[in-house]
Amino acid sequence: MSAGGSGRSGITLTDKQRTAWLRLIRSDNVGPATFRDLINNFGTAERALDMLPELSQRGGATRSIRIATLAEAERELEYARKFGARFVGIGEPDYPPALRQIDAAPPLLAMKGQGSTAIRPSIGIVGSRNASISGVKMAALLARDCGATGYTITSGLARGIDAGAHRASLDTGTMAALAGGLDRPYPPENVDLLKEIWDGKGVAISEMPFGWEPRARDFPRRNRLIAGTSLGVVVIEAASRSGSLITARLAADFGRLVFAVPGSPLDPRCHGTNALLKNGATITTEARDILEALSPLSSIDLFSRPQVEEPAYEESEIFNQPPGEQDRSRIIDALGVTPVEINDIIRHTGLAASAVYLVILELDIAGRLHRHPGGLVSLAPAD
């Protein structure tokens, strides 16, 4: 059954909005979740940028917050243009629809290649970098057969399984998620493969700035892109402690299907995939196992609604009259290093939700808050 739901939908940012969005996400202490809250609270990225110093000060910052300048944003936009890439906002037509729906989705993606490939239903295929010949062959077989039915094949451009899946789906459409900037692909031996991807029917995406060299801690973010863009993730030859298992866990957290190819119990490269099968992953020996499981999901448009856009702004009284110091202290006292739900803070303090959310935002901008999966928050440990 062919994959459906490939129509473009969304709201296109103006050049001015795109520049302001880029400045905001590149500013200190502004991650995807914070970006969303700022837009929701202040209506536009420009107003949010104006409010950052005040929010940081009220949150108790010990130093001035660094705000990305207009010149910095314009330089990065111009660099992207010369590189043949572009920045796509979360509500825009070329933004991967499934990715819009995850918690704290990247507000902007750097993208190079075919936008039509990015918005088709996607299947992620990941696995060992030190893959066996049979593992790479299996990745290629699944990628080729699933790609032929209309799915985009998404992976992380790594050696082994990732590269095998990308190569097998060059003719049908593949998406490479990068841990660094689009101009800093890793590993070096797959640079030519990446060029084949974005010069052909494929596309490459990254949430990191141009010029960003990938570090070990950036790869889980890359794995999050793979899991978030995909309806399901297939794992082939993953060791017990591997990035592929992180991708599978994230996919499960996002409500996506997890598939695993069984392997020899004697091969350490298969310990992780076999463990996934014990824990409920769908056993996969051919593309039909994947296609039949995903058919009910890909035949309907599950992910068409944008989550973040700049609404018509109306001045809110809560921002003209922020909580007093006594209320702010009650909220901070309710927090600790143990993650809690914001709704629990509201119930515990008895304060208005708007007041609690504003103080949480102030602490976040000041660098005094940690955000955790599932919308949990905690105080950052004192330096």
The DSSP H or E segment spanning 232 is: strand 232-236
pLDDT at 9 (0 to 100): 63
CA distances (Å), 134 to each of 137, 159, 241, in order? 5, 14, 21
The class that CATH gives domain 98-299 is alpha beta
Helix, coil or strand: residue 198: helix
Q: What is the mean pLDDT of residues 239-249?
A: 94
How many Å apart are CA 110 and CA 210, to the nearest integer? 8
pLDDT at 217: 93
**Range in 93-97, 352-356, 378-382 the model is least confident about:** 378-382
Out of 1.10.246.90, 1.10.10.10, 3.30.360.10, 3.40.50.2300, the CATH code matching 325-379 is 1.10.10.10
Q: What pLDDT was estimated at residue 375?
A: 84
* pLDDT beyond 60 at 1: no
pLDDT at residue 319 tops 70: no
Instruction: Of 137-141, 300-304, 332-336, give the range with the top mean pLDDT.
Output: 137-141
Q: How many helices (H) and strands (E) does the chain have?
A: 17, 12
pLDDT of residue 308: 55
Q: Report whether pLDDT(12) > 60.
A: yes
* The token pair that represents 216 in the structure block: 């070990």
CA distance 307 to 378: 25
DSSP 67-113: ---HHHHHHHHHHHHHHT-EEEETTSTTS-HHHHTSTT--SEEEEEE
CB burial readout 6-42, b (16+ within 10 A) else e: beebbeebeeebbbbbbbbbbbbbbebbbbbbbbebb
343 in helix, strand or coil?
Answer: helix
pLDDT of residue 381: 81
Q: From residue 243, how far is each of 127, 259, 372 by CA, in Å?
A: 8, 15, 19
Residues of the chain with pLDDT > 70: what percent? 91
User: What is the spatial distance between Cα 165 and Cα 62, in angstroms, rounded to a whole number?
Assistant: 48
CA distance 305 to 320: 31
Domain-by-domain residue ranges, the chain?
Answer: 15-83, 98-299, 325-379
Q: What is the pLDDT of residues 279-307, one digit of tens each?
A: 999 999 999 999 999 998 765 555 555 45
Q: What is the pLDDT of residues 140-199, one digit of tens each?
A: 999 999 999 999 999 999 999 999 999 999 999 999 999 999 999 999 999 999 999 999
Domains 98-299 and 325-379 share a fold: no
Contacts of 346 (CB under 8 A, 6+ apart): 352, 353, 356
- Min mean pLDDT across 5-19, 149-163, 220-234 is at 5-19
